[in-house]
């Protein structure tokens, strides 16, 4: 699914480094997967 997001560039860059990913898309996917996993454990 394609969508347009207005995200802080510095936050996205930091997320990419933290997740050790090379693309913005992958950083967002990793972050969403982590959020869902944490919600399921709560």
Q: What is the pLDDT along the chain (42 residues), one digit of tens a residue?
A: 999 999 999 999 999 999 999 999 999 999 999 999 999 999
**How many other C-beta atoms can be found within 10 angstroms of the C-beta atom of residue 21?**
16
Of 31, 36, 37, the residue nearest 12 (C-alpha): 31
Question: What is the reported pTM?
Answer: 0.88
Write the Ramachandran bin of 15: left for phi over 0, alpha for psi from -120 to 50, otherwise beta.
alpha
């Amino acid at each position: 699914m394609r969508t347009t997001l207005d995200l802080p560039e510095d936050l996205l860059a930091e997320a990419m480094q933290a997740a050790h990913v090379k693309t913005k898309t992958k950083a967002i996917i990793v972050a969403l997967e982590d959020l869902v996993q944490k919600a399921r454990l709560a």
